[in-house]
Amino acid sequence: MPSVMPSVKPSVKKFQVTFDCADPERVARFWCEVLGYVAPQPPEGFATWDAYNLSLPPEKRGACFVASDPTGEGPRMYFQRVPEGKTAKNRVHLDVRVGTGLVGEERLAVLKAERDRLVALGAVCERVLLADDENESCIGMLDIEGNEFCLD
């Protein structure tokens, strides 16, 4: 007689999104502006992140940075410096959900307003995909280091 495994429902897990980048603090602060996230306070004993970085050996200065959802609901975002630049399309990207529940021209107007705000921060608009019979409009974007994301 085959054994029957009890059904165990997995628990929801917290997760972190990690970005490889050239300038972790710059990219993290960009994403703080995009998502309403916050940067952590400098480590104890340091008034600023610049002061903390100056206390480190040169090769460790600016090696990583963090952005967090102030409500604790969204994932922590970790940005780490890597020596190589981006060479191909991202295999995973973020969809920034600014048009949820909206359709047609109202949705497109909200997406375009957010696009314009993010372009002012250094993002690049790659393409605007207009609604068709199957999908609502969305906008393909690049962050300040060329990582793809969508306004959805």
pTM score: 0.84
Q: How far is CA 137 from the centre of its chain?
A: 20
* 3-class state of residue 84 by DSSP: coil
Domain 14-85 class in CATH:
alpha beta
Can you give the pLDDT of all 152 residues of the chain as single tens digits? 566 666 777 777 788 999 999 999 999 999 999 999 999 999 999 999 999 999 999 999 999 999 999 999 999 999 999 988 888 888 788 999 999 999 999 999 999 999 999 999 999 999 999 988 888 999 999 999 999 999 99
Q: Kindly report the backbone phi and psi dihedral angles of residue 140, in degrees, each rounded to the nearest multiple of 5, phi listed first.
A: -85, 130
Nearest CA among 143, 142, 115 for reference residue 27: 143
Domain limits, the chain: 14-85, 86-152
